[in-house]
Amino acid sequence: METLFAPTLCLHIACGLAAVAAGLAPILSRKGSRLHRLSGRLFVGLMGVMLAAAWVMTALHFNAYFTALSATASLGLFSGVRVLRRKRPDLDPGQRARPLDWAVTLAVVAIGAWVLVLLLSGDSDAPRAPAIALVWGAFLVGGWDLWRFSRPADWPFTPDLWTYEHLMKMLGAYGAVLSAFSGNFLTALPAPWSQLWPTFLFQPMAMIWIAVLVLRRRRRAWSPA
């Protein structure tokens, strides 16, 4: 197993570092632009390889914190991409959640519940505060998605909801990889803050960003033609 773990770790670190850098472009570029789409695909590809390597390492050497981190980042990335296929579930039943969406979401929620039990029962020596924060993130995203899957056109559905979901989930995925990067390399910050600060930064940023988008759309709707 050690012969497999070492090269997988190298691949994981390389893709993670590249994703930290590449993830800035879709955040800073104009949404819908060619740069945004291309850089977003690059970020998703790097994150996908990094997370696949993370799950291999988790299978080889289990760690509750990294399992929670991998689960939360995987769901954020997966759901943030898949929601682009579900823009108008109210008009097109073909854009509603597929069995794959249900299976991945339920699996991540189950993994989060298992990790939470390990943490609360003292069966894990992982750092509790960051790990519980990650599990909470998985529950929030997973619970929201399960509601949207079961009631695709009900409250709080709007035609622009997919935009807000995409923004929130992709920022969450970027925050997760930045959390791992900070925890390993920004050692001047005390634990657990070296791992938690991306969560405290990107979650409020996403909510403020969404609020600005909502206000702009309402202002355009209210303005005379």
Phi-psi domain of 23 (left: phi exceeds 0; alpha: psi -120 through 50; beta: other): alpha
Coil vs helix vs strand at 165:
helix
Over residues 32-86, the pLDDT tens digits come to 899 999 999 999 999 999 999 999 999 998 888 889 888 988 999 999 999 999 9
pLDDT at 1: 60
d(CA 94, CA 147) in angstroms, rounded, equals 18
Other Cβ atoms less than 10 A from the Cβ of 27: the count is 18
The rounded distance, in Å, linking the Cα atoms of 179 and 76 is 14
Res. 224: pLDDT tops 70: no
What is the three-class DSSP state of 80?
Answer: helix
What integer is the mean pLDDT of 102-115? 95
Contacts (Cβ under 8 Å, ≥6 apart) of 51: 70, 73, 74, 77
Model pLDDT for residues 114-163, shown as the tens digit of each residue: 999 998 888 777 777 778 888 888 899 999 999 999 999 898 888 899 99
**Nearest partner of 72 among 130, 122, 127, 117, judged by Cα:** 130
Q: Mean pLDDT of all residues in the chain?
A: 87
Rounded to two decimals, the pTM is: 0.86
State yes or no: pLDDT of 223 exceeds 70: no
